[in-house]
Structure 1
């Protein structure tokens, strides 16, 4: 860390400002917003076009979860739990990762129809805050308040990290708050003022604990650097204690979300990562360093770390390293910190440690904004010397040398246009620097020329960034929403029960329940319970533990029973298994169906259900047979396998390889490629299929050559209904293959449903259905009658936060398959109550309240003392008489206040000596030693 100065260095004969203008801070806030708005305008983002900024996870996750928060804020509901995601989920931990930004509270002021536009405005505000807070950091650290704040703060707010990852709106708060955290740390070490550090750190951790982790690690790196620069050895222990105490205070302020999030993370897939067995480096170092140039597209999903933060900081690196007015220790610390961060962006072990003992999916090197922060601070340190008139002609040559070095490093490994454009811009910066040092340009003309070059650079970077990140269609998101909302309203009007679940026949996003606003099954979240993902995959739903997702795709009657799905909405097409779904209504091409084998949130099962072993890698039909048998006691297999044969193919050669596996080889000369698997039904039956085809784009079910149903292919294989067939009919599964892979394997299972076994088992389960008498987000009460001793199963994901009572007595909750909730019941009628409170929530809230109380006490104590805490160095300076500047001496000598000529001469000589010492000081840190 570098660039931190002591307040004693002032330009000669310059009066201190009595009132600090705020224009430069305001411009630092507005300029990044204007640049990014211009980028959005070029991409035709609404209202200047029909596009929107929702892409990738912003499209699938961030907006749907923000919509959940918006609904709770406007219409009420607990912030502890939500039923509109993943059969029910801890909302505190979800919000801690996706929606804890304090700015999100502003969305309560806008209606749901304008929420996407509000999110766009929030994104612009966060980018603006990044510029503002970096300007505050520079102002508070270097004690300057001029246009230079705007120059470097805009570079931070629009660095390649922000331009490549701005669609990860959930990260931006913590990135924006980093300068305030470090400014607070500077004040803690330099001045003994600790409050800003504790508050900023707490707000950073609260806004997003994941990126906040990077801030905490960075603080641990920066703190010893500051101690070396500012403190005498005897002062270090006290500052260590202060830093530790206020770090703990920052953690306390955010504990209400940190503790529940910590316990929720223990249930996710990410905790199962393995430490790298050996050290390796990802990229050639020239390639990595060439990414510091401008005029190339940033990384938006996969690629190199985003390191670029404006070419001016690279140019000023030369004067920083050459200047004799900067002490060696400052240069060494800056180079070491930059080097460590750069190595972290290229070393697998350090990358693993930075990401919290985890290798992330896509979006690599999520901590690389820290490198931009340090490089910009170093660049501003060199620029500060320029403004303080402490640079010389040799520094221009040093800036030119650094520019030439980066040109040589990048040529041949970076895109040519990026290399030559960057070289031209760096030469322009060096040229302006030379003109200013040569007194040819005044400060205003220098800033004017600097601004023109920088506007060109930033505009091009913003254009390439927004173009790479891209947009999505504004008018159709979410698809068929009007018709879906009407069908949801119809279901609510005709259903008198307190709770039920609904799903879509095909997914639009991977969080459709949160997006459309209904209690459902689907969830795609980094906080997803890995055991629930295994449960879903074992039942044949599309799910991935490593992908943190599971979602709905039709399933079977057993799937729908044990997940509590009562209604299904078809945005297009009709239900294939008509005996399992009853058509209720149609609206705008969409249809509402009710499950004829519906079971409520809870129902009686045999006690043997506790023996169910969830096997996600096993055959899902056999898993359902086992689950149904253990729950009902019906021994007759529910599903029986049939083997399809190879039918006609188009542009592909298909052979059966055994064990439901079919191999294929594509004809490179054919325009389309598909395969058909056929089966002739000997007697009337309901068929279900399971398809695993990584290279498939879609597949369809045909009855005697006529298309019955279409399905979307997925990276995750899943089980789907094929329909009801009469004896002698031919059913075919037609799979469209992509030409990306010329050969491969397809797994296809076809099973016949035993309807009699289904009816018998369903009747037993329905007889012990739970009738809900009270339902809230965090409390469920219902009555049920058990025909015999057994279990009461609930289609609620198992978490430690759930507590159960039967007839007023607390009972132990038992997990089924380590994924779902069940309680033991005896024969007879019972009242069962389930209540939920996230693990760690109460303790976390107590710590947060305690942290706020400590802050208030410290504030009142400071007010009572009527003066802030002073460091020993400041206290010593307070005791010394104030020295008069040369200008003040001159003004005093012209007045009739009785000062003798000899006195004036002595004071003037003393002031000149002081001014001369300031000129020779070289480093702004010298007075602190």
Structure 2
């Protein structure tokens, strides 16, 4: 694999990188966050304001970052994390093969050079190749054989300690993969018991040992599991499927296509069939288990039942949900398919002994089966993009070669074992290369140059202002840039994103969805409310001297340009927002009664801001405006704009809707756009493309003019398709004077921060009036513990999302501390379990005096 990556010139071997899809858009930023937290501010391991508007990190870390191997990345500067990730990936490939090979050797199932055939087939299984970008899952291939080793020792009534140790490490490493392995241990345990004849009393004791040891592993992991469960219940767990249907998710026969080498492409990532390729000689060996091994027939029936159950789980919805903790996978289907691959390689290793004699009729039936599968796959290839006739015939060639090798096995030919290993390696190696060649990757320069620019502006901003604030920007590489650059913002993409935060962000006109939020469509109102004190604007349209787009533009904010310039770097201008509010401030307690009464994001912004400022909500900060002129080019006309569907009159001719305004004031003007426009229209303003983050499912707000009094502003909407629904297309003007009056009111009672960490903020606040709140822009969460003047006080939730503290008139000392819910209980259970395990272990080691 190292040779393959070097040939693809992936860093550190060349100008490309290993980054692709989620690894490039999410995980690399989490690795940067882990590095920064461990080296600079460990409090970020509990809570981080780099996670959107702020969010817990213990559960996030448990899913993404608890692999001990990640410590390797501490040695790599952030712009060279790609090289560290490649090294980490190669290490995981190597450890997976080593672990499986060790298990086979330890159990005396295979020895000598033949070990390499099975360990390599295991390490390069189709699941590993398809999911190598999901580094957080890959440790399971190393730990699974070790868990199985411990389980085998329990069935022999030997030490239970290996099973306990390795299963505990797996649960801590990644609870998600551990859940799948725990389910699989039940199947393996039943099969293993069926292979030996035991007295009922012994079977009962073995079962009890297995169950108690499994529970002890959960107890030892409670320090991770309990806080994580709490975090999941408030985030990803809310998406758990409750309506289960007994149906197939796709035609089971399509799984046969995954027996073709290289049966993988990009389209298989979001949805597709389980990746189970392990090589033809391994597949034949697994099939031979049912014909040539000495295992009793009940064991063979159970082994076959395990295969059927796992394959059925790929397609049958209730079983699929069982393996995935009750949730349909978002991308990367059948994430548990590595278990079938393990099982097939395991059965093959048990069967393919040196000199194994196989009856010719069995091999002939295998050849006929291979031909039939080939014919079926040639038919399936007409509708499946990831297999081609050439690879189908190549798969048949591998199958025939495997059958010939199995026929020659008893003849003990010179160098036969070496040839056996070469065939196995070449088979899975070809699958790896042909599969990975179908995927595109981020260039090293694209990542490193951007990261360097981001780090530079982040460090200089901190030198200018070491306080607590958020930063907004008009460019983005990923939604987790804040983790990469170590600053606070309003963007985030993670599986543990709290749904309340996403709903709030969408309600104020920002792009958001399940698992992500983006602050790319703000207004002075949201900039002020959420404490965006600094703006980072890309210079030169985000291009360098060679006209390369080093800063991808994702926002249009002309209203930022008139803000005070603090400093400039080579590529970025830093502006300061004089209306930014602190993280906590005095506000009217009328906010306790606030409800979302409108789906109009600008009306909601005004309603929230004015209520906090103690103003009447009917004093709207935004006023609906009419367009001065509307021109329909090759479109059906309409007197109304918003909510109307316009259609092309001549299908092949360009079609445009041109909206013209001539502002009568220097106030900023805003256009709302429904999600229906994102894929069906291109928008320009005075001929310049509207820079907009592309993914959104709600109505967003975009700035179209600022300080443009008396000037003509032309908004052109060009259709991509035959028709266009003008969903929520409306024009608004901000009443700047009214906004500034409310902003001054809210700024008059700030929290003056005296000390802060990622999970704790201390400060002093003076409330001038009665009936007030200490309003924060921290998302409400059960883990926040608040003390006001030394007394514990229960915070409340405002606007369905934000935390506020009831308070009285006067000066107050405020301390807000985040501690993961159930963390203390988890520590206690883990410690008690550890004490119990030690006592049982020492008790069993006492010499027998009789």
Q: Are the counterparts in 2 of residues 313 and 376 from structure 1 also a CA contact under 8 Å?
A: yes
SS in structure 2 of the partner of residue 689 of structure 1: strand
How far does residue 659 in structure 1 lie from its aligned partner after superposition?
4.2
Report the equivalent of 1:718.
700
Report the equivalent of 1:221.
187
SS in structure 2 of the partner of residue 832 of structure 1: strand
- 1:827 and 2:800 aligned: no
* Match runs of 1:181-330 below 5 Å: 181-230=147-196, 231-297=198-264, 299-323=268-292, 325-330=294-299
Distance verdict in 2 for CA 1:238–1:675, change over 3 Å: farther
Report the equivalent of 2:425.
455
* Match runs of 1:486-565 below 5 Å: 486-495=456-465, 498-544=467-513, 547-565=514-532
Report the equivalent of 1:72.
37
Q: Are the counterparts in 2 of residues 505 and 552 from structure 1 also a CA contact under 8 Å?
A: no
How far does residue 694 in structure 1 lie from its aligned partner after superposition?
4.2
Q: Are the counterparts in 1 of residues 31 and 73 from structure 2 also a CA contact under 8 Å?
A: no
- 1:140 and 2:106 aligned: yes
SS in structure 2 of the partner of residue 475 of structure 1: helix
Separation in 1, partners of 2:189, 2:649: 61
Identify which range, 353-362 or 768-777, moves more after superposition: 353-362
The Cα offsets for residues 676-735 of structure 1, whole Å up to 9 and x where unpaired, read as: 333332444321222224454686563xx4649643433344222223244443323334
Report the equivalent of 1:347.
316
Q: Are the counterparts in 1 of residues 240 and 326 from structure 2 also a CA contact under 8 Å?
A: yes
The Cα offsets for residues 633-679 of structure 1, whole Å up to 9 and x where unpaired, read as: 22221111124377456776675665454534486534x66543333
Separation in 2, partners of 1:549, 1:773: 32
- 1:802 and 2:784 aligned: yes
- 1:105 and 2:74 aligned: no
- 1:118 and 2:84 aligned: yes
SS in structure 2 of the partner of residue 747 of structure 1: coil
Identify which range, 411-420 or 836-845, moves more after superposition: 411-420
Ranges in structure 2 where 5+ consecutive residues have no aligned partner: 382-387, 542-555
Separation in 1, partners of 2:504, 2:657: 31
Identify which range, 686-695 or 54-63, moves more after superposition: 686-695
How far does residue 501 in structure 1 lie from its aligned partner after superposition?
1.3
Separation in 2, partners of 1:446, 1:654: 79
Distance verdict in 2 for CA 1:693–1:341, change over 3 Å: same
Q: Are the counterparts in 1 of residues 262 and 432 from structure 2 also a CA contact under 8 Å?
A: no
* Match runs of 1:572-587 below 5 Å: 572=539, 573=541, 575-578=557-560, 581-587=563-569
Q: Are the counterparts in 2 of residues 666 and 743 from structure 1 also a CA contact under 8 Å?
A: no
SS in structure 1 of the partner of residue 533 of structure 2: strand
SS in structure 2 of the partner of residue 316 of structure 1: helix
Separation in 1, partners of 2:645, 2:401: 63
Separation in 2, partners of 1:501, 1:89: 14
The Cα offsets for residues 177-201 of structure 1, whole Å up to 9 and x where unpaired, read as: 2222122111111243211111111
Determine which of 41, 44, 50 is the counterpart of 2:6: 41
How far does residue 779 in structure 1 lie from its aligned partner after superposition?
1.6
Separation in 2, partners of 1:663, 1:244: 65
Report the equivalent of 2:822.
840
How far does residue 145 in structure 1 lie from its aligned partner after superposition?
2.5
Distance verdict in 2 for CA 1:499–1:295, change over 3 Å: closer
* Match runs of 1:521-670 below 5 Å: 521-544=490-513, 547-572=514-539, 573=541, 575-578=557-560, 581-614=563-596, 618-635=599-616, 636-644=619-627, 647-648=630-631, 655=638, 659-665=642-648, 668-670=651-653
Separation in 1, partners of 2:449, 2:725: 34
Q: Are the counterparts in 1 of residues 109 and 349 from structure 2 also a CA contact under 8 Å?
A: no
Identify which range, 730-739 or 288-297, moves more after superposition: 730-739
Separation in 2, partners of 1:699, 1:570: 23
How far does residue 526 in structure 1 lie from its aligned partner after superposition?
0.5
Distance verdict in 2 for CA 1:269–1:196, change over 3 Å: closer
Separation in 2, partners of 1:175, 1:649: 60
Report the equivalent of 1:441.
413
TM-score relative to the length of structure 1: 0.83
Report the equivalent of 1:686.
668
Separation in 1, partners of 2:78, 2:461: 21
Separation in 2, partners of 1:666, 1:348: 45
SS in structure 2 of the partner of residue 760 of structure 1: helix
Distance verdict in 2 for CA 1:575–1:73, change over 3 Å: same
Separation in 1, partners of 2:742, 2:441: 49
* Match runs of 1:848-859 below 5 Å: 848-857=830-839
- 1:159 and 2:125 aligned: yes
Distance verdict in 2 for CA 1:579–1:824, change over 3 Å: farther
Distance verdict in 2 for CA 1:228–1:839, change over 3 Å: same
Report the equivalent of 2:24.
59
* Match runs of 1:354-503 below 5 Å: 354-384=323-353, 387=354, 389=356, 391-414=358-381, 415-437=388-410, 439=411, 441-442=413-414, 445-477=415-447, 480-495=450-465, 498-503=467-472
How far does residue 392 in structure 1 lie from its aligned partner after superposition?
4.6
Distance verdict in 2 for CA 1:552–1:324, change over 3 Å: closer
Distance verdict in 2 for CA 1:656–1:42, change over 3 Å: farther
Distance verdict in 2 for CA 1:135–1:669, change over 3 Å: same
Q: Are the counterparts in 2 of residues 317 and 402 from structure 1 also a CA contact under 8 Å?
A: no
Separation in 1, partners of 2:240, 2:428: 39
SS in structure 1 of the partner of residue 333 of structure 2: coil
SS in structure 2 of the partner of residue 711 of structure 1: coil
SS in structure 2 of the partner of residue 279 of structure 1: coil
Q: Are the counterparts in 1 of residues 776 and 804 from structure 2 also a CA contact under 8 Å?
A: yes
The Cα offsets for residues 603-644 of structure 1, whole Å up to 9 and x where unpaired, read as: 0110011222247x8110111121012111222211111243
How far does residue 228 in structure 1 lie from its aligned partner after superposition?
2.3
SS in structure 2 of the partner of residue 824 of structure 1: strand
How far does residue 561 in structure 1 lie from its aligned partner after superposition?
2.4
Separation in 2, partners of 1:213, 1:673: 54
The Cα offsets for residues 418-474 of structure 1, whole Å up to 9 and x where unpaired, read as: 22111111111111222222x2514xx222222332333223211122212331111
SS in structure 1 of the partner of residue 776 of structure 2: strand
Report the equivalent of 2:751.
770
Separation in 2, partners of 1:293, 1:316: 17
Q: Are the counterparts in 1 of residues 157 and 206 from structure 2 also a CA contact under 8 Å?
A: no
- Which protein has the larger Cα radius of gyration, Structure 1 or Structure 2? 1
Q: Are the counterparts in 2 of residues 649 and 674 from structure 1 also a CA contact under 8 Å?
A: yes
Separation in 2, partners of 1:50, 1:610: 55
Distance verdict in 2 for CA 1:701–1:418, change over 3 Å: closer
Separation in 2, partners of 1:645, 1:667: 26
How far does residue 44 in structure 1 lie from its aligned partner after superposition?
2.2
SS in structure 1 of the partner of residue 135 of structure 2: coil
Q: Are the counterparts in 2 of residues 252 and 851 from structure 1 also a CA contact under 8 Å?
A: yes
Ranges in structure 1 where 5+ consecutive residues have no aligned partner: 1-35, 868-929
